Amino acid sequence: MLERTEERFGLRPGYLVADTAHGLAKNLAWLVKQTQITPHIPVFDKSNRADGTFSRSDFTFDSEANRYTCPAGKHLVQFHRNFAKPRSGIAAAGTRLYRATTKDCGACDLKPLCCPNMVARKIPRDVDEDAREVARAQVGTPEYEAACRRRRKKVEMLFARLKRILRINRLRLRGPCGAKDEFLLAATAQNLRRLAKLRPMSGRLEAIAA
């Protein structure tokens, strides 16, 4: 949709606001790296743990050294030895895995809070984690809060009115073409309703009198 808008009208937004479902690493990487559009999108993240142990956010990542540092000051790296044939280190899921050594974790006093059921801690990091960090940095800024308010008032409210007033709780026509036609008719009705509210009150009274 962004590409079609830019191609047809020559317009490209400076930022994009969406819900968490659009906060995937792949989407954020496309926005940040390819289109240079600021993402005002909550990051889809399941790295936080609910069992009381350390989450990934408790570890510090050093981009220059390409390693994590745990709360005890030990390092987690991708490779603990050199390989004759260089490896990318990227798994099939599109992540890089950083591991601590068994020696460091075994003698650590924080092991019950870090990896009680593992011999050593390991942390997966998405290849597009830098784009996710850009999105995280936007949360809480005045621009982010203003964009979220506009989304709730100008976008979410329109869908709520479609469901509540026009009773579009479910589409009745089958297939993509039927869904497109039905939603287009509903959007047309909604736009006509909004246009009617923009007419001056005097014009309405004259129309009623006629």
Provide the pLDDT for residue 210: 55
Which pLDDT value is given to residue 170?
Answer: 79
Question: What distance in Å separates the CA atoms of residue 67 and residue 210, rounded to the nearest whole number?
Answer: 77
CA–CA gap between residue 58 and residue 88 (Å, rounded): 26
Q: pLDDT, tens digit, for every residue of 96-136?
A: 999 999 999 999 999 999 999 899 999 999 999 999 999 99
Whose structure tokens read 């993509």? 176
31-56: burial string, b at 16+ Cβ within 10 Å, e else: bbeeeeebbbbbbbbeeeeeeebbeb
**Segments making up each domain of the chain, as ranges:** 56-128
pTM, full prediction: 0.70
| Residues linked to residue 39 through DSSP beta bridges, in sequence order | 16
